[in-house]
Amino acid sequence: MLELSPAEWTAVALSLRIALVATAWALPFGIAIGWLLARGRFWGKTVLDGLVHLPLVLPPVVTGYLLLIWFGRKGAIGAFLYDHFGVVFAFRWTGAALASGVMGFPLLVRPIRLALEAIDRRLEDAAATLGANPALAFFTVTLPLALPGIVAGLLLCFARALGEFGATITFVSNIPGETQTISAAIYTFLQIPDGDAAAGRLVVVAIALSLAALIIAEWLGRHASARFHGE
């Protein structure tokens, strides 16, 4: 069994916290964007789809730099949030959650979009004929049927957020106990003498957590699909 030092446990706990918060705040936006891409008919849909998936192809450092420009204390959004609400993202764990959520967002949106596209629209029409308004039909018919895709997206986003490094370290630096996640801690340990053992232990933890997330995503997706399709 791995014996982690207090500093290593701190990095693991912080990574889990950041990944959970990142996934939670990304979920409502992911459902909204997934629905818009699946059902919407508007000019610029292809551009929106490209912007959503841009973090997958951009160097993570570029994404982190853009977040620093926009959400830093002197950035347009960051200055507004600080002046009016006292919210600070740069060099805080909340900024790490924001960066991780942005990087995992495409992996959240895509399964949700595919799940929504696969739903038989006649089921929603049937709900409408029974008196359900669009909002009620969405929450009682569409959303439950899309649950397998939502679950898969959530777990993929969580796994991606858990392993984020480039955008996070660029936006919030590598501050022990505040922004030093598993990935950042591994990087730090590799830069110091005799740090290989600690880095190796964190690598094992990272692999285990990511693999567990993927396995759970597959299991929950199959379970939800079987439940809502009567299998």
- Look up tokens 């106990």; give the residue: 177
Summarize pLDDT for 12-26 with one digit per residue, the tens.
999 999 999 999 999
Angstrom distance (rounded) from CA 79 to CA 73: 5
What is the DSSP annotation of 51-95?
Answer: HHHHHHHS-HHHHHHHHHHHHSTTSHHHHHHHHHH----TTSHHH
Per-residue confidence (pLDDT) for residue 227, from 0 to 100: 55
Summarize pLDDT for 166-202 with one digit per residue, the tens.
999 999 999 998 999 999 999 999 988 888 999 999 9
Mean pLDDT (the chain) is 88
Whether the pLDDT of residue 38 is over 70: the answer is yes
Whether the pLDDT of residue 162 is over 70: the answer is yes
- Give the least confident one: 83-87, 98-102, 181-185, 227-231: 227-231
In the chain, what are the domains? 6-228 (1.10.3720.10)
Summarize pLDDT for 40-68 with one digit per residue, the tens.
888 888 999 999 999 999 999 999 999 99
Angstrom distance (rounded) from CA 224 to CA 219: 9
